[in-house]
């Protein structure tokens, strides 16, 4: 018997170099990344307290750091890479949602930021 749980790592702050303009790719900006996953949790985790029966959220953090270090024009591209890596490297994950927020985008208006959310299922 298994159970489904939602496991989230919220708003990991990463300084990275994503954007279409040369300035964004040179200067960089603060980004916040949230990964939420629906996970098939095996009895070994919920009954016997063993990590092997669930998804290790520290792996989510490693994936975020690795993918955010690769510059991209579009946040959609980065979010999709993160989602694909989570599904590939964390077999218990059934569905993953990745949100990337960018502070102070160069839009010529005052705003809190922009964000992109990608969802992928196995």
- Threshold 0.75, pTM exceeds: yes
Decide if 14 contacts 75 (C-beta within 8 A).
no
The pLDDT of residue 104 is 80
Which residue in the list 10, 95, 102, 117 is annotated as catalytic? 102
The pLDDT of residue 108 is 82
Domain ranges within the chain, ordered by starting residue: 2-121
CA distance 89 to 83: 10
Mean pLDDT confidence for 76-80: 98
The pLDDT of residue 110 is 85
Q: What single-letter DSSP state applies at residue 69?
A: T
The pLDDT of residue 85 is 98
CATH of the domain spanning 2-121: 3.30.1130.10
Is pLDDT at 98 greater than 90 in this prediction?
Answer: yes
Sign of CA dihedral 40, 9, 83, 115: positive
pLDDT tens digits, one per residue of 8-62? 999 999 999 999 999 888 999 999 999 999 999 998 888 889 988 999 999 999 9
Q: How confident is the model at residue 106 (pLDDT cuts 50, 70, 90)?
A: confident
- Residues making up the chain, counted from first to last: 122
95 flagged as catalytic: no
């Amino acid at each position: 018997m298994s159970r489904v749980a939602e496991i989230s790592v919220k708003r990991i702050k990463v300084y990275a170099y994503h954007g279409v303009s040369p300035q964004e790719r040179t200067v960089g900006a603060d980004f916040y990344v949230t990964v939420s996953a629906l996970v098939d949790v095996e009895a070994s985790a919920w009954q016997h307290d063993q990590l092997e029966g669930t998804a290790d959220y520290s792996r989510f953090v490693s994936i975020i750091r690795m993918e955010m270090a690769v510059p991209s024009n579009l946040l959609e591209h980065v979010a999709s890479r993160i989602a694909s890596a989570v599904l590939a490297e964390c077999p218990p994950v059934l569905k993953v949602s990745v949100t990337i927020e960018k502070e102070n985008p160069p839009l010529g208006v005052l705003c809190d930021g922009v964000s992109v959310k990608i969802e992928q299922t196995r």
